[in-house]
Amino acid sequence: MMLTVNPFSILAQTVSPIYMQAFVVAMVLLIIIGTLLDIIHKKNVKYFFQNAKKAKLSATKTLSNGERLAVISKTIVSDIATTSELGAGKRRVAHLLGMYGTILFWLGSAIMIFCYSSTDAETPSLWPIIWHVGAIMTVVGGGWFWFFLRVDVYSEAQPWYRIIKADLFVLALVASSFTGLVWSYLQTLNLNDRWDDKVFLVLFIVSNLILFGGVYWSKFAHMFYKPGAALQKNLAEADGSRDNLPPEADAPKQFGLGISREKPKHY
Ligand code: HEM
């Protein structure tokens, strides 16, 4: 059964685990380099701290440590762990599937490659299951987002097959999970003298190189920026500085009849 087989330990029959481990380290380095270059190029972190400092001046109250802790906990549980920014509905469900799928897939990869990748390793079946389930969740969540929910298709009537630079992250992410799954499946068929599994191993490697090598150009780093921005927003709300924005109007919501005819989805 494919789900319980560690694909990296089969691979170890032909490729030494040290190469797999070096590949993982290289991917981590690519994430760090790509994110740092992005931060230097966009100056977003610099702006973020300037803005936070400026906003502090208009704070109407000093938060106690307890209050600060409450805001941090709420940010972790709501904004980060359940992507509350996306509201209720399929957009959030698709994101959660992709996000947790990816976390499981990467965790499973790291554990199997670093702890159980020698040919005689006995991998507890939990890890291959985590890896395969994570990959399936990523393909389902990412595919759902890309085919149906991304803004060009959902709101701007672009055909689903139009691909632009903004699709780099989601497509490379889905491709790496998908090719990983197919590679693992073909390997368990024991096609020793055939080439199918090797083709998918190459595609798996290439899609990972694109995913991690593309950090500078893709939306990859949002997984680091979004939590920081959410924390800042929640703290600014709690201390009354509100990022120097006016408070919500205390007035009845009168948007005319059109608002109930169609859900707002034209961004
Ligand atoms: C392993 C972590 C994560 C993964 C794999 C992931 C994956 C994705 C993907 C594939 C997209 C679609 C990108 C696009 O093409 O527009 C996306 C969008 C988004 N992500 Fe994440 N994400 C992660 C973490 C987070 C976190 C921690 C937050 C918030 C705190 C977040 C908030 C968002 C938001 C708001 C969008 C825009 C959604 C939309 O356009 O409907 N993500 N994420």
**Domain ranges across the chain:** 2-56+88-239
- Substitution candidate for ligand 1 out of 96, 223, 225 with most atoms within 8 A of CB: 223
Cβ atoms 166, 153 nearer than 8 A: no
Band (145; pLDDT cuts 50, 70, 90): very high
Residue carrying the six token digits 């106690």: 64
Residue 222 C-alpha to ligand 1 middle, in angstroms? Answer: 7
Contact of 9 with 117, CB cutoff 8 Å: yes
Q: What is the mean pLDDT of the chain?
A: 94
Rounded to an integer, what is the distance from CA 95 to the centroid of its chain?
8
User: Measuring CA to CA, which residue among 77, 59, 3, 10 is closest to residue 244?
Assistant: 59
Q: Atom of ligand 1 at shortest distance to CA of 85?
A: 35
CATH number of the 2-56+88-239 domain: 1.20.950
User: Count of residues for the chain?
Assistant: 267
CA of 157 to the centre of ligand 1 (A): 22
Mean pLDDT of the region 96-118: 97
Q: Kindly report, residue by residue over 59-89, the tens digit of the pLDDT.
A: 999 999 999 999 999 999 999 999 999 998 9
Which pLDDT score is estimated for 267?
61
- CA separation, residue 86 to residues 23, 97, 163 (Å): 34, 13, 23
| pLDDT number for residue 256 | 82
CA of 94 to the centre of ligand 1 (A): 10
Contacts by 234-240, CB closer than 8 A, 24 or more apart = 234/71, 234/74, 234/75, 234/79, 235/63, 235/68, 235/71, 236/52, 236/55, 238/63, 238/67, 238/71, 239/56, 239/59, 239/60, 239/61, 239/62, 239/63, 240/58, 240/59, 240/60, 240/61
Contact 55, 241 (CB under 8 A): yes
* pLDDT tens column, 30-47: 999 999 999 999 999 999
Q: How far is the CA of 226 from the centre of ligand 1 (A)?
A: 8
Give dist(CA 136, CA 120) in Å, integer.
27
Pocket test for ligand 1, best of 99, 107, 224, 233 (most atoms within 8 A of CB): 99
pLDDT of residue 253: 80
Contacts of residues 57-61 at CB distance under 8 Å and 24 or more positions apart, as own/partner, are 57/241, 58/240, 58/241, 58/242, 58/244, 59/239, 59/240, 59/241, 60/239, 60/240, 60/241, 61/239, 61/240
- What's this model's pTM, rounded to 2 decimal places? 0.92
Which residues form ligand 1's pocket by a CB distance below 6 Å? 79-80, 83, 85-86, 91, 95, 98-99, 102-103, 142, 145, 150-151, 166-167, 169-170, 173, 219, 222-223, 226-227, 230
- If you count DSSP H runs as helices and E runs as strands, how many of each does the chain have, helices first? 11, 0
How much is the pLDDT for 130? 98
- Ligand 1 atom with least separation from CA of 102: 5
